[in-house]
């Protein structure tokens, strides 16, 4: 990556980023098409990202295929040594990486830093794989053993969204590589800068050339990845619409695929919920990362009289201020989409209690900001109750019973996360059992499972078998080789021979 730095207003250092593809250990110059990268913080120009074609993808697959025999022949214990060093580099470069994420994604510095902390945890998990995967062997007859080895697939691909430029790539990169695969990584074209730093740091940690490659681009390159004969598996994280396209196309081409999609996460709030904790947790869940998290609280279902809790949520929401403790949304189009959902809900009869429309940050007038918005008396038929808004907006619906609240939750096409706020164990248990979502929170608004527990939703929030991280990801990135061994001629096999 080439970085040209200039001084802005004599205080801040602003850079132009010339994002490149990374193939066979080299940053490769230009393609015919490119896209301008804007900083959502203030709308300023950050650089350009190449929009690659099959030519660049072919080169990347060739480099990855060439690297695969030597990389997969190493023991897992040898491969993780590189990731131990990489983990240390992440820690050393925490501030620089956080600033980079902030610049291209728009989230706050603290949120960006939390992303790197999670990437470190994901890398640590990958470093533990040799211990976790030790030994599946059994003496099945006297002197005869069966063993299972989990072997890499070959060249695999990972396609990422814009909302976590560092953490989501680390859902796949460390595990897939430690397990012996070589990878083609396709970052979001909206936030491609951080990915170039990932490549530089993996190289610095000692990753052999060709094991990790980046091909930048948009729809064309994603389709080419799904079609390429040299790629064995495709993992995708992004919106449901594109997840369906990728899953269908990759599996139609006989590839293994796992595609995580969008979300509409419901929080059920009971009248016995702890008011202070619930209000701060719900507000943090809906407004963190400007609501651009697939785990964000988007719809809240209040059961019975929860007016005092809603009042507190509004108070908390007013303390979250764009440009101070709230970042931007990703683009002008995203800002307009989010504000349109609010306006349409209001027109349909919902009551806007806290209005985040038309937010402007002084000195960053070109940025894309929406302040936290709380809307009450939303009904389940409204678009804001059904569709993914992906902004700092909480749509509150009311119900008279837990059963009704669960019916609303179950009615969603999505199923990433659901949560309940209550102090009653029986109620919590019922939501754990009956919510139709892959990740459940009890008094936790963003129930992201920590490693080694795996991450993945249900319904239209995920297509494919298994989850993308943790223990579950081992099955996705490997294939089982089953070997039966008779050590001595006199050993007796009791069937089949
Ligand atoms: P997106 O679907 O627009 O883009 C994701 C990837 O798909 C990008 O790399 C993009 O280049 C590519 N892409 C875009 N349009 C395409 C097309 N027509 N054909 C082929 N590829 C295409 O998603 P986004 O806006 O970058 O990210 C936000 C979405 O991601 C939200 O819906 C969010 O919920 C979801 N997300 C889900 C999870 C999860 O774990 N389920 C995690 C993070 C984000």
Tell me whether residue 294 is one of the annotated catalytic residues: yes
pLDDT confidence bin for 5, thresholds 50/70/90: very low
Nearest atom, ligand 1, residue 456 CA: 40
d(CA 168, ligand 1 centre) in Å: 11
The predicted pLDDT at position 7 comes to 35
Nearest CA to ligand 1 atom 43: 294
Nearest atom, ligand 1, residue 160 CA: 9
Residue in this structure with the two tokens 């053993």, named with its chain if needed: 145
d(CA 366, ligand 1 centre) in Å: 24
Q: Which of 278, 245, 260 is nearest to 164 (CA)?
A: 260
d(CA 77, ligand 1 centre) in Å: 34
Distance of alpha carbon 120 from alpha carbon 464, whole angstroms:
26
Q: Write the pLDDT tens digit of every residue in 163-198.
A: 999 999 999 999 999 999 999 999 999 999 999 999
What does the domain layout of the chain look like in residue ranges?
A: 2-262+457-481, 265-442
b/e map of 14-53 (b: 16 or more CB within 10 Å)?
bbebbbbbbbbbebbeebeebbebbbbbbeeebbbbbbbb
Q: Are 395 and 375 in contact (CB under 8 A)?
A: yes
Non-local CB neighbours of 22 within 8 Å, separated by 6+ positions: 28, 196, 199, 212, 213, 214
Which residue out of 182, 226, 289, 294 is catalytically annotated? 294
Instruction: Domain 2-262+457-481: give its CATH architecture.
Output: 3-Layer(aba) Sandwich (3.40)
Q: Can you tell me the mean pLDDT for 426-438?
A: 98
Report pTM. 0.96
The predicted pLDDT at position 494 comes to 63
pLDDT at residue 354 greater than cutoff 80: yes
Distance of alpha carbon 405 from alpha carbon 425, whole angstroms:
17
Phi, then psi, of 455 in degrees rounded to 5: -110, 130
340 φψ region: left (φ > 0), alpha (ψ -120 to 50), beta (else): alpha
Nearest CA to ligand 1 atom 40: 260
Q: Write the pLDDT tens digit of every residue in 403-415.
A: 999 999 999 999 9
The predicted pLDDT at position 221 comes to 98
Q: Write the pLDDT tens digit of every residue in 44-58.
A: 999 999 999 999 999
Q: Write the pLDDT tens digit of every residue in 14-43.
A: 568 989 999 999 999 878 899 999 999 999
Distance of alpha carbon 468 from alpha carbon 456, whole angstroms:
6
The predicted pLDDT at position 14 comes to 53
Phi, then psi, of 44 in degrees rounded to 5: -85, 160
d(CA 18, ligand 1 centre) in Å: 23
User: Which of 165, 218, 238 is the pocket-test mutation for ligand 1 (most atoms within 8 Å of CB)?
Assistant: 238
Nearest CA to ligand 1 atom 19: 219
Asked, colleague to colleague, whether 2-262+457-481 and 265-442 share their fold, the answer is: no
User: Which of 221, 242, 257 is the pocket-test mutation for ligand 1 (most atoms within 8 Å of CB)?
Assistant: 242
Nearest CA to ligand 1 atom 14: 219
Q: How many residues does the chain have?
A: 497
Distance of alpha carbon 316 from alpha carbon 72, whole angstroms:
51
Nearest atom, ligand 1, residue 330 CA: 25
User: Which of 161, 335, 386, 391 is the pocket-test mutation for ligand 1 (most atoms within 8 Å of CB)?
Assistant: 161
The predicted pLDDT at position 31 comes to 80
CA dihedral 295, 439, 111, 294 (to 10 degrees): -20
265-442: CATH topology is: Aldehyde Dehydrogenase; Chain A, domain 2 (3.40.309)
The predicted pLDDT at position 371 comes to 98
| Dihedral sign (CA 62, 169, 6, 96) | negative
The predicted pLDDT at position 1 comes to 57
Distance of alpha carbon 328 from alpha carbon 326, whole angstroms:
7
Ligand 1 shell residues, CB under 6 Å: 159-163, 168, 186, 188-189, 218-219, 222-223, 237-239, 242, 245, 260-263, 294, 388, 390, 416, 457, 461
pLDDT confidence bin for 495, thresholds 50/70/90: low
Q: Write the pLDDT tens digit of every residue in 195-245.
A: 999 999 999 999 999 999 999 999 999 999 999 999 999 999 999 999 999
pLDDT-wise least confident of 75-89, 128-142, 296-310, 379-393: 128-142
What is the average pLDDT value for the chain, to the nearest integer? 95
Q: Report the half-sphere exposure of 223 (CA within 13 A, side-chain side).
A: 6
Q: Write the pLDDT tens digit of every residue in 318-346.
A: 999 999 999 999 999 999 999 999 999 99
User: Which of 239, 413, 455 is the pocket-test mutation for ligand 1 (most atoms within 8 Å of CB)?
Assistant: 239
d(CA 260, ligand 1 centre) in Å: 9
The predicted pLDDT at position 290 comes to 98
d(CA 463, ligand 1 centre) in Å: 13
Q: Are 474 and 133 in contact (CB under 8 A)?
A: yes
The predicted pLDDT at position 497 comes to 55
pLDDT confidence bin for 493, thresholds 50/70/90: low
The single-letter DSSP state of residue 322 is B
């Amino acid at each position: 990556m080439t970085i040209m730095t200039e001084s802005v207003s004599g205080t801040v250092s602003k850079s132009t980023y010339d994002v490149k593809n990374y193939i066979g250990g080299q940053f490769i110059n230009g393609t015919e098409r490119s896209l301008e990268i804007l900083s959502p913080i203030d709308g300023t120009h950050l650089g350009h990202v190449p929009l690659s074609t099959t030519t660049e993808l072919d080169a990347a697959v060739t480099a990855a295929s060439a690297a695969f025999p030597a990389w997969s022949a190493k023991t897992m214990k040898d491969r993780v040594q590189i990731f131990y060093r990489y983990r240390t580099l992440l820690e050393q470069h925490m501030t620089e990486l956080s600033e980079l994420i902030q610049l291209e994604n728009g989230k706050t510095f603290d949120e960006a830093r939390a992303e790197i902390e999670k990437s470190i945890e994901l890398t640590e998990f990958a470093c533990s794989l040799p211990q976790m995967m030790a030994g599946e062997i059994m003496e099945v007859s006297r002197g005869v053993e069966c063993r299972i080895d989990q072997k890499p697939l070959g060249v695999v691909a990972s396609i990422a969204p814009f909302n976590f430029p560092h953490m989501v790539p680390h859902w796949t990169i460390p595990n897939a590589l430690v397990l012996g695969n070589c990878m083609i990584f396709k970052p979001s074209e909206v936030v491609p800068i951080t990915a170039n730093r990932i490549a530089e740091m993996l190289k610095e940690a000692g990753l052999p050339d060709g094991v990790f490659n980046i091909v930048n681009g948009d729809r064309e390159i994603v389709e080419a990845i799904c079609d390429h004969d040299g790629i064995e598996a495709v993992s995708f994280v992004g919106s449901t619409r594109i997840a369906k396209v990728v899953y269908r196309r990759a599996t139609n081409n006989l590839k293994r695929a796992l595609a995580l999609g969008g979300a509409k996460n419901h929080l059920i709030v009971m009248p016995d919920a702890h008011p202070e904790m619930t209000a701060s947790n719900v507000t943090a869940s809906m407004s963190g990362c400007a609501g651009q998290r697939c785990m964000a609280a988007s719809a809240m279902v209040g059961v019975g009289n929860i007016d005092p809790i809603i009042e507190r949520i509004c108070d908390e929401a007013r303390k979250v201020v764009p440009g101070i403790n709230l970042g931007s949304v990703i683009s002008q189009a995203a800002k307009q989409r989010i504000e349109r959902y609010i306006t349409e809900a209001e027109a349909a009869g919902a009551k806007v209690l806290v209005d985040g429309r038309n937010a402007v940050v002084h000195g960053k007038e070109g940025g894309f900001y929406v302040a936290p918005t709380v809307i009450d008396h939303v009904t389940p038929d409204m678009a804001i109750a059904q569709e993914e808004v992906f902004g700092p907006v909480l749509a509150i619906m009311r119900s008279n019973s837990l059963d009704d609240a669960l019916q609303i939750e179950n009615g969603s096409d999505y199923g990433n996360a659901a949560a309940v706020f209550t102090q009653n164990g029986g109620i919590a248990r019922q939501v754990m059992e009956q919510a139709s979502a892959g990740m459940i929170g009890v008094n936790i608004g963003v129930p992201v499972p920590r490693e080694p527990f795996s991450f993945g939703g249900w319904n239209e929030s995920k297509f494919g078998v298994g989850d993308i991280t943790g223990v579950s990801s081992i099955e996705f990135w490997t294939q089982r080789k089953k070997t039966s061994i008779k050590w001595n001629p006199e050993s007796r096999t009791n069937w089949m021979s």
